[in-house]
Amino acid sequence: MVIRRVLRRFSLGALCIAVLLLSPAGTMAQDPETSEPTKEPTPESTAASDNGTENRFDIGIQRVDSPVGDFVTTLLGYTRAFRGNMSFSASVTLNYADAFRSTDQGYTKERHFGLGDTILIYSYVPGQKVTAQPWVPKSAGFSVLLIVPTGKAADLLGGDQWVFSPQAGWVVSFAEHFTLLPALRYTTSFAEGNLAKPVEELSAEFIVVWAHDSGWWIDYTGDIVRDFRRDDWRYDDTFSVGKMFGSRFGLSVAYGVLDRVDPTSIRDDNQWMLFFHYVMPNRGGKGP
C-alpha cells in the first residue's frame, strides 16, 4: 500500500536526518577562532567543563521529493554533553505530507501537518572529552538511537513503530584537512502498529570530510545498506557544505539521493536538508 511506503519513508527519513545532524559528538577538528589545531584541554578548561555542561540547540529542515509525494520534516533538537565523554540528544519533528493514499476507489491526494516522531540519541566516546559541538569528531565512539512513534500514522505523520539503531564509528585522518569517518549501524523496528512498515537493516557508512581552518567544511556520505526485510541492497549518498562562525554557531546545507524504498517506485527519492546549530556557553561562564 502507498500509505505503508509513505510511513517507511518517514521512519527512514527521521533516521537519516538524525544521523546526519545528531551523530556522535566529538571535539572540533579545527578551532575556527585561532585557525590552529585544537589543543589539549588545560586544567582550567577541564575544570570549567566538568563543573558544568555544554548544550547545543539544532534546527533541521528536510524536504524529500518522492514518487508518492512530497514530505517536509522540521527537526527541533537539543544536545547535552556531560561527564566528560557522553552526550544525550532529544529531538521532536514536525512533518508535512503531501502524498497519495490508496483506497478502494483508487488514489487520493492528501495533505497533513503535525507532530512527527521523537528521536532520542545517547553517544559515548571513550578516552576523550566530548563537547556539544556538531563538527568533525577526532576519536572513535558509539551511539544508540531510539525513534519514538509520537506522530499520527493515520495522517501520514509518523512511522507507527519504535525504531532502535546502535552505531559504532571511528576516525581516520589520511591527508591535511581530510578525514574519513567509517561507521557500522544496525537498525530494527519493534512494537509495530497496523500501519507500520517494519525495518531491519545493516548499514556500512563512510563519510569523507574536508575541514578548512577558515571554518568551511565539505563532506560526502555514502551508505551501503543491507535490507533484511526486502532481502536486497540499496545505496544512499549525500553531499553537504557547511560553515562554522566562531566556535558556537554553524549552518550547513545537504543534498542526497535515497535509493527507492519500494521496488514499485519509478525513481529514487531526492532530499534537501538545511541545518542550524548553536552551542550555549558552559555554566561556568567559559566557552568550549
The domain ranges of the chain are 2-280
Q: What is the DSSP letter of 153?
A: G
Q: Is 33 left (phi over 0), alpha (psi -120 to 50) or beta?
A: alpha
Measured CA to CA, the distance from residue 113 to residue 94 in angstroms comes to 7
* Ordered per-residue pLDDT tens for the chain, 288 residues: 333 444 444 455 555 555 554 443 333 333 333 333 333 333 333 333 444 467 888 898 988 887 777 888 898 999 888 766 788 889 998 989 887 766 666 677 788 899 999 999 998 877 666 555 555 556 678 889 999 999 988 888 888 999 999 999 888 888 888 888 899 999 999 999 988 888 899 999 998 988 888 888 898 989 999 999 888 888 888 898 988 887 778 888 989 887 755 544 445 678 888 888 888 776 554 444
CB neighbours of residue 43 within 10 Å: 7
Structural element, H or E, at residue 2: helix 2-22
pLDDT of residue 90: 92
pLDDT of residue 12: 52
| 86 burial level (CB within 10 Å; 0-12, 13-18, 19+) | middle
Written as nine digits, the cell of 90 is 532529544
CB 90 within 8 A of CB 135: no
Written as nine digits, the cell of 216 is 568551511
pLDDT of residue 173: 81
Q: What is the CATH number assigned to the segment(s) 2-280?
A: 2.40.160.40
Written as nine digits, the cell of 208 is 569523507
Question: Is the full-model pTM beyond 0.75?
Answer: yes
E strands within the chain? 30-31, 36-37, 54-66, 69-82, 86-103, 106-124, 141-148, 162-169, 172-175, 178-190, 200-211, 216-227, 232-245, 249-258, 269-280
Written as nine digits, the cell of 137 is 569528531
- Residue 52 C-beta-side C-alpha neighbours within 13 Å: 17
Beta bridge partners of residue 121, listed in sequence order: 89, 145
CB neighbours of residue 159 within 10 Å: 32
Please report the DSSP string for 27-81 in residue order.
--SEETTTTEEPPPPPHHHHHHHHHS-EEEEEEEEEEEEETTEEEEEEEEEEEEE
